[in-house]
């Protein structure tokens, strides 16, 4: 995948207007080196940005990181940004354009809010007609998605495994007027044609749902061959080591964009906003643990224990968190 017109990535007149203003505000010498792009993946110090020329690595200057104290205007997945093209790569992100929609969650006990994805149009809330099915919880996600400015759509996946999905579909439909519900099977490929109309040109769809409901299977199905070409960019972590950041904004073969981002897809993030926000800081750290489902006890590469060792968070908070989660030592999965 190389050169792509910006409107296929979701570019619109409102962003164009904001971009013109941002570029006009720069000094005349700098102006010619500025152009817009969309954030396709995020690491701690570098990101992948899609410009008119294709996906490229971009760095986040320290000045922008400091200006963004509180996290509000740090670039996140889905953001439109202005980048500067120096003589030598990488690109430098100089400004985040105003967001049309944003998903934020409260962190640090509700003191600040952290945006996790921007400019999403439609959110597929994925669940299954089995033990994962929890109507009150679904209701909270539907409300959270509506609050963000995006449109919620509920997917009942794994319908191949149940005899009758209609009671589940009816219960979901009762949550909110005009809430679309689709019964699908990502594994078998059933019902997926009904999802294609959501992926209009430049429309950005994001996936959320508990672990195991089939988000990866669905992503691969929707992407078809492109799934195999998932890009990765190299990133330097706090210790100067290289880590890998996987691109999580994908273009679908038939048009439209799909965000499948670990920080967004994990439903625990959304529950944090609903009640346990004093644990938000731990959940934020946990997204950087080497193992998904890390219990923050003995696993190598645990970002939560590292933060305790550095004195950034108290050990008592971690204990309280584990108790609240009912975490027992269990097998964690390598990401
Ligand atoms: N029967 C059935 N199984 C499915 C379907 N979709 C996914 N699965 C299975 O469910 C399991 C979990 O699927 P994933 O796609 O990894 O789920 P996920 O939501 O990405 O899970 P995490 O990566 O943990 O967030 C796998 O064993 C899949 O093969 C489906 O439509 N029907
Ligand atoms: Zn951990």
Q: Which atom of ligand 1 is nearest to the CA of 293?
A: 24
| Ligand whose nearest atom lies closest to the CA of 283 | 2
Give the count of beta carbons closer than 10 Å to the beta carbon of residue 142.
19
3-state secondary structure 50-106: EECCEEEEEECCHHHHHHCCCCCCCCCCCCEEEEECCCCCCEEEEEECCCCCEEEEE
Q: Residue length, the chain?
A: 335
Q: Which atom of ligand 1 is nearest to the CA of 333?
A: 24
The reply to whether ligand 1 has any atom less than 6 angstroms from the CB of 160 is yes
Tokens 């003191």 belong to 111
Q: Which tens digits make up the pLDDT trace of 202-261?
A: 999 999 888 789 988 999 899 885 443 333 433 334 444 444 445 578 888 888 999 887
Whether the pLDDT of residue 163 is over 80: the answer is: yes
Among 190, 217, 269, 332, which residue has the most ligand 1 atoms within 8 Å of its CB, making it the best to mutate? 217
Going from the Cα of 218 to the center of ligand 1, the distance in angstroms, rounded, reads: 8
Q: Which tens digits make up the pLDDT trace of 33-48?
A: 999 999 998 876 788 9
| Ligand whose nearest atom lies closest to the CA of 299 | 2
Residue 240 is assigned to a ligand binding site: no
Q: What is the pTM of this model?
A: 0.75
Q: Which tens digits make up the pLDDT trace of 285-294?
A: 888 888 888 8
């Amino acid at each position: 995948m190389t050169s792509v017109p910006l409107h296929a990535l979701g570019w619109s007149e409102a962003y164009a207007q904001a971009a013109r203003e941002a570029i006009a505000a720069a000094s005349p010498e700098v102006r010619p080196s500025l152009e817009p792009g969309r954030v396709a993946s995020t690491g701690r110090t570098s990101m992948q940005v899609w410009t008119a020329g294709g996906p490229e690595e971009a760095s986040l200057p320290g000045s922008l990181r400091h200006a963004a104290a509180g996290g509000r205007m740090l670039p996140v997945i889905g953001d439109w940004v202005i980048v500067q093209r120096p003589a030598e790569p990488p690109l430098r992100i100089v400004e985040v354009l105003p967001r049309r929609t944003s998903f934020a969650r409260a962190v640090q006990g509700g003191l600040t809010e952290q945006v996790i994805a921007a400019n999403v149009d439609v959110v597929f809330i994925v669940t299954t007609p089995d033990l994962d099915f929890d109507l009150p919880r679904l209701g909270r996600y539907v409300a959270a998605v509506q609050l963000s400015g995006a449109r919620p759509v509920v997917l009942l996946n794994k319908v191949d495994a149940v005899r009758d999905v209609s009671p589940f579909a009816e219960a979901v439909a009762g949550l909110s007027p005009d809430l679309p519900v689709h019964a699908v099977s990502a594994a078998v490929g059933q019902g997926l044609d009904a999802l294609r109309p959501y992926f209009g040109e430049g429309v950005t769809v994001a996936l959320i749902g508990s672990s195991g409901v089939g988000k990866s299977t669905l992503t691969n199905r929707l992407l078809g061959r492109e799934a195999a070409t998932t890009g990765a960019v190299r990133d330097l972590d706090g210790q100067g080591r290289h880590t890998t950041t996987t691109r999580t904004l994908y273009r679908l073969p038939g048009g439209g964009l799909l965000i499948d981002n670990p920080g967004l897809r994990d439903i625990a993030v959304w529950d944090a906003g609903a009640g346990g926000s004093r644990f938000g800081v731990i959940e934020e750290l946990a997204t950087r643990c080497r193992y998904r489902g890390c219990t923050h006890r003995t696993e190598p590469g645990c970002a939560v224990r590292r933060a305790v060792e550095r004195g950034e968070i108290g050990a008592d908070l971690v204990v309280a968190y584990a108790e609240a989660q009912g975490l027992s030592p269990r097998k964690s999965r390598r990401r």
